[in-house]
Chain A
Amino acid sequence: EAQVTQNPRYLITVTGKKLTVTCSQNMNHEYMSWYRQDPGLGLRQIYYSMNVEVTDKGDVPEGYKVSRKEKRNFPLILESPSPNQTSLYFCASRRGDLYNEQFFGPGTRLTVL
């Protein structure tokens, strides 16, 4: 089944404790991205990657890191999480050519105390 998977789905952590949210897709998509969703703000892009070893900042990259060592994986790293990073996070992927929908993962609900 074609899908984007994220782990963990739910996470409660404390300020300053490094964490990684994994994202994997099995569709051989070139393009992957991370979004955060906050009430009343819609979804905002954190980082995106056009292909392996190619990443770039989105609209709200502060406090986050990403890497793209393999085509299928695009982990989101919070080196020192803070309470303002409490949010619902989505990973998404799509083919590199235009006019294609983005496939979203199921979301990761993160709470930073």
Chain B
Amino acid sequence: AQKITQTQPGMFVQEKEAVTLDCTYDTSDPSYGLFWYKQPSSGEMIFLIYQGSYDQQNATEGRYSLNFQKARKSANLVISASQLGDSAMYFCAMREDNSGYALNFGKGTSLLVTP
């Protein structure tokens, strides 16, 4: 069964607008971590933001915030004030702390920011 689901294969957003990239996860492990990575066309994986399952507050890193809804098992990434350089693939990933610490990745969402 897919542990991380990203339902949006591709999205468009206009420059300076906010955009939400969806991510839902499936785990029975009470301790886990959720990550978002950005992959530009150059191919490298860039860490954006992390949320632990026991964290009470939603994580924020500059223009990135993670909308963590534990009961719904969702961990959506919100990018505020989009920039052209935000155009990239975005991957949601989960680490289950009682399952070998592997990162399980979703299939990704391709974001295109238009002028």
Contacts and interface: CB of A to CB of B under 8 A. Distances in A.
A48 B37 CA distance: 19
Interface of B: 4, 31, 33, 35, 37, 43-45, 47, 50, 52, 91, 93, 97, 100-108
Contacts of B101: 31, 48, 50, 98
Contacts of A109: 43
A105 to B, nearest CB: 8
Contacts of B97: 98
Contacts of B35: 101-102
Contacts of B100: 48, 56
26 contacts: A31-B101, A35-B103, A35-B105, A42-B4, A42-B91, A42-B105, A42-B106, A42-B107, A42-B108, A43-B45, A44-B105, A45-B102, A45-B103, A48-B100, A48-B101, A48-B102, A56-B100, A58-B102, A98-B33, A98-B97, A99-B52, A101-B50, A102-B103, A104-B47, A106-B43, A109-B43
| Chief secondary structure at chain A's binding surface | strand
- The interface centre, meaning the residue of A42, A56, A102, A107 with most chain B CB atoms within 10 A of its CB, is A42
B50 A43 contact: no
Nearest to A59: B102
A90 interface: yes
A104 B102 contact: no
Interface string A25-40: 0000001010100001
Contacts of A102: 35, 47, 103
A107 B28 CA distance: 32
Nearest to B108: A42
